[in-house]
A and B are shown apart, each in its own frame.
Chain A
Amino acid sequence: MSTEPTHIHAGEEHGDTMTKGRIVKVALILSAITCIEFFIALYLVPHGKMTYHSANPVYIVLTLAKAFYIVAFFMHLKFEKITLIYAIVVPTLFIIGLILVLTNESHHWFDVWHPLS
């Protein structure tokens, strides 16, 4: 069973799996992203180097990056058949749709409930 991490693309290869080296690498990436989030929240925002509103999209992008690493590597989805990947990823797109719809809706509620602010 070959465990060389030479072929990266999903699906067909047998033996392309999580080696110890790759586990450590992903763990370090997750820790590093969390540390960046702390750096923004504890240093950049309080010291005025970044505004509260510009930090939020950065947090969300970093969170999605962490989610990708957990699902793709720890949960092994990247190495499954393409059919399984689509069966999981496509339904989650509906969640993103709902997020966009309700974010828009909540701005509308804001305008209706607080017309003066």
Chain B
Amino acid sequence: MSTAVSEIDEVKTTPWAGGRSPFSVEYGKLMMWFFLLSDAFTFSSLLISYGALRFSATTWPAADKVFQSIPGTSVNEGAPLVFVGIMTFILILSSVTMVLAVEAGHRMAKKEVTWWMIATVIGGFMFLGCQALEWTHLHGEGFWWGHIPDAEKLKEFFNDPITAASSVSTHQFANLFFTITGFHGFHVFTGVIINIIITINVLLGTYEKRGSYLMIEKVGLYWHFVDLVWVFVFTFFYLV
């Protein structure tokens, strides 16, 4: 029978032969991936600008001197990385609870999905609360968009002696810090809002009726991306 089919009429079955998606994922999930790719470009351009300005400066505020307090407690110095460490673990843990919600969704276990989603939302709020404390603390020290602490206080944030260049680089540091962590915090905030909407839909039984919890996977992708960005922000603002 196959001898009767000419070469041009033969039905091709390669991934790009048409008639089906070569990616074999659902449309919304594919679009979420492409959105995240574009978002990755945006975050990269911000972080690359930060890197370019920092590498071209002679001096830069020392991270372990700027971030050495634990806002919300009486510890005001000598504890670098502790607070941001807590924030990092909160975000990693909320990523874990999100992936557990996805896993429960595969088993159509509505109750488990609900609880893991609620845990993820709580993790998101805890992170945002920490970030609010961190911003308030830095604002109290004199940092803000276009504002830096006065010359006397500025000394505390540098390992090298203060020069005219210190003031310029501290301005750059303050602007970039609030812009990048602010843009990231905005993503966390929208992620929390989306997670709440999805949790309500889970409770209403929307996905049970639909027969699939695929929507959990899509918002999960967004939430993990937010975690992914924080991994980079953490390294380049707090460690390097």
- Would you call A103 and B15 a contact (CB within 8 A)? no
Tell me whether A59 and B240 are in contact in the complex, defined as CB-CB below 8 angstroms, given that A84-B25, A98-B44, A107-B55 are known contacts.
yes
Contact mask for chain B residues 68-97; partner A; CB cutoff 8 A; 1 contact, 0 none: 000000000000110001001100110110
- Would you call A23 and B99 a contact (CB within 8 A)? yes
Contacts of B232 in A (CB 8 A): 63, 67
Interface residue B235 (Cβ < 8 Å from any Cβ of A):
yes
Contacts of B193 in A (CB 8 A): none
- Would you call A106 and B56 a contact (CB within 8 A)? yes
Interface size on B, residues (CB 8 A): 50
In chain A, residues 31-82, which have Cβ atoms closer than 8 Å to a Cβ of chain B? 31, 34, 37-38, 41-42, 55-56, 59-60, 62-63, 66-67, 70-71, 73-76, 80-81
Interface residue B102 (Cβ < 8 Å from any Cβ of A):
yes
Contacts of A88 in B (CB 8 A): 33, 37
- Would you call B55 and A110 a contact (CB within 8 A)? yes
Q: How many A-B residue pairs have CB under 8 A?
A: 124
Give the docked Cα–Cα distance between A45 and B89 (Å): 22
A70 to chain B, nearest CB (A): 5
Interface residue A27 (Cβ < 8 Å from any Cβ of B):
yes
- Would you call B106 and A17 a contact (CB within 8 A)? yes
- Chosen A-B contacts, 23 in total, with CB atoms closer than 8 Å, are A20-B100, A59-B240, A62-B235, A70-B95, A70-B227, A71-B228, A74-B98, A74-B99, A75-B225, A83-B16, A84-B25, A87-B23, A87-B33, A88-B33, A95-B40, A95-B44, A102-B51, A102-B52, A103-B52, A106-B54, A107-B56, A109-B52, A117-B58
Given contacts A37-B235, A80-B23, A102-B52, list 16 more A-B pairs with CB under 8 A. Answer: A38-B85, A59-B239, A60-B235, A63-B231, A67-B232, A75-B220, A75-B225, A81-B23, A83-B16, A83-B23, A98-B48, A99-B44, A102-B48, A106-B52, A106-B53, A117-B58
